Amino acid sequence: MQLPVEQEKKLVEKLTKGDDRAFHILYNAYAPTVFARIKRLLHNPEWVEEIHQDVFLKIWHARVKIDPNVPFKAIILRTTKSIVVDFYRKALRDKKMKEQLVQIASNFYVEDFFPTEDSELNVALKVAIDALPPQRKKIFCMIKLEGKKYLDVADELNISPSTVKDHMAKAMSYLKSELKGKHSNMLLSIFFFAIVEVFVSNNFFE
C-alpha cells in the first residue's frame, strides 16, 4: 500500500512528535513490502525478522531527526540499506553465519544471477557445468541457457517431467557445492554488490 503524498507528510510530521498511531499507520503501509524485499534477498526467516524489526525500531528511535519533507519511502530505503549492509558485515565475522551466507550467495548466483560475461567465477561455473553427466548437462543448459520450460524439455527429450526435475535438482546441488567450496569469497562479493544494487535500482517498492 502506498499513501497519498500529503497524508504521508502529515503522518511523518506527527511521527516526529512521538505520535505512535501515526507510526503504526506508516508501518502498516510499508512494512509488508520491506519484509518481502529482505526475504527475497536473504531467505533466512530469523535474519529477515531481525532486520525487519530493526529497520522500524531505528526509524522510531530517530523520529525527532526525520525531515517531513523527505519522502518516507526514501527514509525506509536508506535505513534498510544501512541495516542490511551492517548485518552482512556482521555475518562475515561469524563462522556459522558466514557459512549460511555463502549458501545463500551460491543459490543466488546459480539460480537467479547466472551471468554470461567472462569472469573467474563464470569460468569455474562453466567448468562445473561441463563436468555434469551428458544428459544432465543437456537438460540444465536447455532450461538455464535456452530458457526452455520443464515440460517442453521433457517432450523434446521424450522423458518424464519428474525426470527433468530430478536432473535439474541434482545439477543445481552439484554446481552450488562446487562454487561455494572453491570460490566462496567471490560469491560473497558478487552477492554483496547485488544487495547494494537493490537499494539503488529505484524499484524497491514496486
**Residues above pLDDT 90, as percent of the chain:** 52
Structural domains counted in the chain = 2
Domain boundary among 93, 126, 159: 93
Instruction: State the average pLDDT for the chain.
Output: 88
Residue 63 in contact with residue 96, Cβ under 8 Å? no
Which among 188, 200, 186, 178 is positioned nearest to 104, based on CA atoms?
A: 188
Q: Distance between CA 168 and CA 115 in Å, rounded?
A: 18
Q: How confident is the model at residue 202 (pLDDT cuts 50, 70, 90)?
A: low
Determine what percent of the chain is predicted with pLDDT higher than 70: 92
For residue 100, the domain's CATH number is 1.10.10.10
C-alpha cell at 135: 544428459
Listed range (44-58, 125-139, 150-164, 168-182) with the worst mean pLDDT:
168-182
> Of residues 191 and 79, which shows the higher confidence score?
79
49-68: b (≥16 Cβ within 10 Å) or e: eebbebbbeebeeebeebee
Residue 206 lies in a domain: no
Q: Is 43 left (phi over 0), alpha (psi -120 to 50) or beta?
A: left
**pLDDT digits over 7-24, tens only?**
999 999 999 999 999 999
Q: What is the pLDDT of residue 12?
A: 95
pLDDT at 206: 62
Same domain, 143 and 188: yes
Select from 117, 129, 93, 126 the least CA-distant residue to 190: 117
- The per-residue pLDDT for 17 is 94
pLDDT of residue 11: 95
Are residues 71 and 103 located together in one domain of the fold? Answer: no
User: Does residue 201 sit in helix, strand or coil?
Assistant: coil
Distance CA 84, CA 3 (A): 25
| 201 domain-assigned | no
Domain range enclosing 130: 96-196
Tally of CA atoms within 13 A in the half-sphere of 58 that contains its CB: 16
Ranges 102-106, 113-117, 127-131: which has the least confidence: 113-117
* 102 and 88 in a common domain: no
Please check whether residues 72 and 136 belong to one and the same domain.
no
Residues in the chain: 206
What are the backbone dihedrals phi and psi of residue 83, each rounded to the nearest 5 degrees, phi first?
-70, -40
Tell me whether residue 51 is in a domain: yes
Looking at the structure, tell me whether residues 106 and 46 fall in a common domain: no
Same domain, 149 and 122: yes
Please compute the mean of the pLDDT values over residues 45-63 and round it to a whole number. Answer: 95
Cβ neighbours of residue 82 closer than 8 Å, sequence gap 6 or more: none
Query: What are the cell numbers at 75?
Result: 527514509
What pLDDT digit, counting tens, does each position of 118-134 carry?
577 778 888 889 999 99
Residue 203 counted as domain residue: no
pLDDT digits (tens, 9 = 90+) for 44-53: 999 999 999 9
**Residue type at 78 in one-letter notation:** R
- Decide: 72 and 8 in contact? Cβ < 8 Å: yes
